[in-house]
Structure 1
Amino acid sequence: MAAFNVITLEHAEAIVTGAENAGQAVILQISQNAVAFHHGKLGPVTAAVAAVAASAAVPVGLHLDHVTSEALLHRAPAHGYTSVMYDASDKPHTANVAATLVAARFAHEHGMWIEAELGTVAGKDGAPPLPAHAPGARTDPDEAAAYVAATGVDALAVAVGSSHAMTDRTAILDHQLITALHHAVSVPLVLHGSSGVPDQQLRQAVAAGMVKVNIGTALNISYTQAIRDFLAGDASRVQPTVDPRTYLTRARDAVASTVAHFAALLASPHHTAPMIGTPSATASTIAPQNGPVPA
């Protein structure tokens, strides 16, 4: 299932439009960084995005992404979140387990599904990608199984060759590792940094066991390029445009097209997955079953 990151209202509107055009369910994700962009106020951006999701003609889940702040995690239930990704992956392993266990207990006590990360999916906050064989650049299947058992999380983001914030699509995934993780881990696997992964690699990843596929940077590339193209052509006019709706409309349309592509690409013609980010999407209902894994 495709999960798309939201920064502005236009992102949310475009993601829903693209999902509707593709006829596919999607997840709208608001990250801790996006909350910070909105002056640290979780309520207004959540209310706006939730309203867009509620008006959609396809199922749309709402997810709070890459939370490192316990304070933000504790605010999530009051704003209607039933799904959260708590990220302690930058901590030493023992500290990651301990912090994630506490977060998972809180999440489950408040009816929230929780995703965590083991390994290092690099590129966060401008950090460079890790070399392919650097310590922590790949998630070990046995360690992943132990981590899930120790923390009780409902899904696991794993490091298999992708990186956040890639602006070219040159990542090469370790599909044998994805398969091994799928067989070792009892909960759905999540691929972060998917914008840098070529289409065929994404298809293979889903076939190998990925259930939730996160996409953010690809949307921002479409968004900003559409605005650049409009303003470049507008600069020669006698009276350049000052109404942001003119270029934000182009940006929104461009993002919708990108979303439709990824939503269709990641769809499975034979299997569907319960909507992550809704109260019914518990660990037991979204865990991969025997046979091909739902997209």
Structure 2
Amino acid sequence: MPLVTTGELVADAREKGRGVAAFNVITLEHAEAIAAGAEQAGRDAVLQISENAVKFHGGHLAPIAAAAAAVAGASSARLSLHLDHVESVELMRAAHPAGFSSVMFDASKLGYGENVEATADAVRWGRERGIWIEAELGRVGGKAGEAPLDAHAPGVRTDPAEATAYVRDTGVDALAVAVGSSHAMTERTAALDHELIAALRDAVPVPLVLHGSSGVPDEEIRRAVASGMVKINVGTALNTAFSGAVRGFLDSDSTAVDPRKYIAPGRDAMAATVAGFLGLLG
């Protein structure tokens, strides 16, 4: 099926009172697993490639983007292509020719005023090209290279009044908010602030995005969607499933040298994880 736009998937989910999951693509097998999991669940999904994944591929966006788009084109599921956690303006501008319909422009490390200015510039760029822009307000810590951050520390969570002004002044299409989750969690122990989610839902007119969903328990994700979260980002959970399956295979067969033998169960484990998350979203 041809790629659909992220904006369309998010709008459809929001209208139906459900969530749509966005899964991180690092390798071709990630993209294949996401497509397979979406087909198994009969649900839409977003294939998202982060700036860190682009760095892993030598700084070259086009090859991994083309691979993900080709996988989506061969799938029966409705899938979109999203460029995630982009701090580089140059990389953001590469999104349009590479076939992306959306970008998460991340200026969250800047001071509030600089964040607003940089994000508003990104939104203007996106409007001219039909690119849907997501941004982040608050601090969802845990990404590689960042200092540890307590998701419950004072000043970390997104303030509804500030979010109202931020969305008004930047014009973003979606807002990632800090409500108790953290990136790169390998245990699903995060406790979300559902009252804050509801307050943010009422404060801003755009869809809310939950980053760091790999560390959020099933029931917390269900409640988050019911409280107003729409786009649910998942990354580490796929890597955990993949690594566990590969490790198990190699532990059982120390003579294996054909990577297809152990990558296949890893890909299958990721697909099952994708289908599991999609089943939570209403």
Counterpart of 1:68 (choices 87, 93, 98) is 87
Counterpart of 1:119 (choices 138, 153, 157) is 138
Aligned partner letter, 2:44:
A
Q: Report how far residue 241 of structure 1 moved.
A: 1.2
Preserved contact between residue 51 and residue 85 of structure 2 (Cα < 8 Å): yes
Question: Are residue 46 (structure 1) and residue 65 (structure 2) matched?
Answer: yes
Structure 1 distance, partners of 2:144, 2:163, is 24
Q: Residue 79 of structure 1 aligns to a residue in which SS? A: coil
Structure 2 distance, partners of 1:104, 1:85, is 10
Structure 2 distance, partners of 1:72, 1:126, is 19
Equivalent residue runs for 1:25-104 within 5 Å? 25-104=44-123
Counterpart of 2:32 (choices 13, 26, 29) is 13
Match of residue 196 from structure 1:
215
Structure 2 distance, partners of 1:126, 1:193, is 16
Preserved contact between residue 141 and residue 151 of structure 2 (Cα < 8 Å): no
Structure 2 distance, partners of 1:49, 1:112, is 18
Q: Report how far residue 243 of structure 1 moved.
A: 0.5
Match of residue 233 from structure 1:
252
Structure 1 distance, partners of 2:145, 2:249, is 27
**Structure 1: any 5+ residue segments left out of the alignment?**
269-295
Q: Report how far residue 110 of structure 1 moved.
A: 1.1
Preserved contact between residue 181 and residue 191 of structure 2 (Cα < 8 Å): yes
Q: What per-residue deviation string (whole Å, max 9, x for no partner) do you get for residues 175-226 of structure 1?
A: 0000000000010000000000000000000000000000000000000011
Preserved contact between residue 134 and residue 175 of structure 2 (Cα < 8 Å): yes
Q: Residue 97 of structure 2 aligns to a residue in which SS? A: helix
Q: Residue 53 of structure 1 aligns to a residue in which SS? A: helix
Aligned partner letter, 1:209:
G
Structure 1 distance, partners of 2:159, 2:133, is 20
- The runs of at least 4 consecutive aligned structure 1 residues that moved more than 3 Å come to none
Aligned partner letter, 1:184:
A
Structure 1 distance, partners of 2:78, 2:135, is 23
Match of residue 129 from structure 1:
149
Q: Which moved more, 1:76-85 or 1:163-172?
A: 76-85
Question: Are residue 143 (structure 1) and residue 162 (structure 2) matched?
Answer: yes
Identity of aligned residues (%): 60
Preserved contact between residue 151 and residue 181 of structure 2 (Cα < 8 Å): no
Q: What per-residue deviation string (whole Å, max 9, x for no partner) do you get for residues 270-289 of structure 1?
A: xxxxxxxxxxxxxxxxxxxx
Q: What per-residue deviation string (whole Å, max 9, x for no partner) do you get for residues 76-134 of structure 1?
A: 11111111100000111111101101111111111100000000001011532325133
Rate the CA distance shift 1:131–1:158 in 2: closer, same or farther, 3 A: closer
Structure 1 distance, partners of 2:160, 2:151, is 19
Counterpart of 2:190 (choices 127, 149, 171) is 171
Aligned partner letter, 2:279:
A
Counterpart of 1:250 (choices 245, 259, 265) is 265
Match of residue 243 from structure 2:
224
Aligned partner letter, 1:61:
S
Question: Are residue 2 (structure 1) and residue 21 (structure 2) matched?
Answer: yes
Match of residue 227 from structure 2:
208
Question: Structure 1 length normalisation: TM-score?
Answer: 0.88
